[in-house]
């Protein structure tokens, strides 16, 4: 690179060189790659570096220390941040840290191990970032929060890590963490959902998955009609067989939901027969809630899957929405007479 050489004072081509160097950081001796310029016009003391090169050397030395001590390197911190689509300030705030914290860790300062632990955790488990974010007061604006929640969900699905069904179901609802018309002004309540499913399973002999999903929708939409609030906080989508809650597979996998896999008579399909789980008590339901669930049971108890699907197909909520569309609780207004 041609430059005004500070060693000989002339303008000429100077080569950037690289060598192994060592340095002592926080009492630890570390080896790193050092870069420098050398003027070949002069013998002896002919080395120099620009401020940018000195900074880069310092960063490499500190990263060598981090690697030696098992801390994240600055590049790894950048990657974690980018994975979640956040700026340095946003990630700092999301974690409840001072605004400049991430910027310092990415550029020069070596992070304390407590901070490093948090960053390592959110690297492995997106749900931890989610929980910390909520705990720290959900400080980002709605646009940024939307991006973050979407990224968390994608990372969670892509991670393929073993997550318990409850986490899995929650991950589907990360983007519905506020009371809106889509969830019937209630955030997902998994304990309540498990109790309702168990209550239904206790009272209905032939409770199969599709029928259960329809009954949950009727429980929620009736609850909304009466109290302006759904019961479970599930969000339903328009599917061929009627309303289907987001994360329906994860619902069946919940710890307190029990089912038997049964073959249909033509041996082509496995049917999920939901059965009563005696371990879970049903005290979590109020009298009002039981009344609503009982009215749904009375209405559909004797219907088979096809009959309840046909019934749902006559609802405006179904007729006026398209495949995959979220069925808003607005439709409670035009629910067919119960």
Task: Kindly calculate the radius of gyration of the chain based on its CA atoms and give it in whole angstroms.
Answer: 30
Q: Is 152 in the site for Zn ion (CB under 5 A)?
A: no
Q: Which stretch binds Zn ion (CB under 5 A): 2-10, 24-32, 205-213, 313-321?
A: 2-10
Total site size for Zn ion, rule CB under 5 A? 5
Beta carbon nearer to Zn ion, 11 or 313: 11
Dihedral over alpha carbons 334, 274, 184, 176 (to 10 degrees):
-140
Beta carbon nearer to Zn ion, 8 or 326: 8
Q: Is 7 in the site for Zn ion (CB under 5 A)?
A: yes
Cα–Cα dist 76/53, whole Å: 21
Q: Is 5 in the site for Zn ion (CB under 5 A)?
A: yes
Q: Which stretch binds Zn ion (CB under 5 A): 36-44, 54-62, 161-169, 328-336?
A: 36-44
Give the SS3 label for residue 17. Answer: strand
Which of 30, 32, 37, 39 binds Zn ion (CB under 5 A)? It is: 39
In angstroms, the Cα distances linking 307 to 260, 301, 311 are 22, 11, 6
Q: What is the DSSP string of 146-158?
A: HHHHHHHHHHHHH
Which of 8, 109, 147, 303 binds Zn ion (CB under 5 A)? It is: 8
149, 141 Cβ separation under 8 angstroms: no
56, 105 Cβ separation under 8 angstroms: no
Least Cβ distance, residue 38 to Zn ion (angstroms): 9
Give the SS3 label for residue 264. Answer: coil
Least Cβ distance, residue 140 to Zn ion (angstroms): 51
Q: Is 82 in the site for Zn ion (CB under 5 A)?
A: no
In angstroms, the Cα distances linking 316 to 108, 214, 320, 332, 335 are 60, 15, 6, 9, 7
SS3 per-residue string spanning 23-38: EEECCEEEEEEEEEEE
Which of 28, 33, 41, 314 binds Zn ion (CB under 5 A)? It is: 41
Q: Which stretch binds Zn ion (CB under 5 A): 3-11, 79-87, 91-99, 248-256?
A: 3-11
Q: Is 179 in the site for Zn ion (CB under 5 A)?
A: no
Under rule CB under 5 A, which residues in 210-239 are in contact with Zn ion?
none
Least Cβ distance, residue 30 to Zn ion (angstroms): 31
Which residues are at the interface with Zn ion (CB under 5 A)?
5, 7-8, 39, 41
């Amino acid at each position: 690179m041609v430059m005004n050489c500070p060693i000989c004072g002339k303008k000429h081509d100077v080569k950037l060189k690289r060598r192994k160097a060592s340095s002592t950081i926080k009492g630890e001796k570390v080896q790193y790659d050092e870069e420098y310029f050398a003027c070949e016009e002069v013998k002896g003391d002919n080395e120099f570096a620009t401020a940018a090169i000195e900074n880069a050397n310092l960063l490499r030395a500190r990263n060598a220390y981090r690697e030696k001590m098992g801390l994240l390197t600055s590049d790894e911190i950048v990657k974690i941040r980018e994975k979640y689509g956040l700026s340095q300030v946003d990630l700092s705030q999301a974690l409840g840290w001072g605004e400049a914290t991430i910027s310092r860790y990415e550029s020069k300062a070596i992070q304390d191990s407590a901070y490093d632990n948090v960053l390592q955790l959110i690297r492995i488990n997106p749900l931890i970032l989610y929980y910390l974010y909520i705990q720290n007061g959900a400080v980002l604006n709605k646009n940024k929060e939307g991006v973050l929640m979407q990224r968390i969900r994608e990372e969670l699905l892509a991670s393929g890590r073993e997550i318990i069904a409850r986490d899995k179901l929650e991950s589907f609802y990360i983007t519905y963490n506020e009371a809106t018309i889509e969830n019937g002004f209630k955030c997902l309540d998994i304990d309540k959902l498990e109790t309702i499913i168990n209550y239904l399973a206790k009272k209905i002999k032939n409770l199969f998955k599709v029928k259960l999903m329809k009954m949950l929708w009727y429980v929620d939409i009736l609850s909304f009609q009466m109290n302006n609030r759904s019961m479970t906080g599930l969000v339903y989508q328009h599917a061929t067989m009627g309303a289907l809650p987001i994360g329906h597979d994860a619902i069946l996998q919940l710890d307190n939901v029990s089912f038997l896999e049964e073959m249909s008579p033509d041996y082509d399909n496995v049917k999920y027969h939901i059965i009563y789980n005696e371990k879970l008590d049903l005290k979590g339901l109020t009298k009002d809630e039981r009344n609503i669930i009982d009215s749904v049971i009375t209405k559909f108890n004797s219907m088979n899957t096809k009959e309840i699907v046909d019934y749902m197909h006559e609802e405006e909520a179904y007729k006026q929405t398209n495949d995959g569309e979220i069925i808003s609780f607005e439709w409670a207004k035009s629910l067919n007479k119960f």
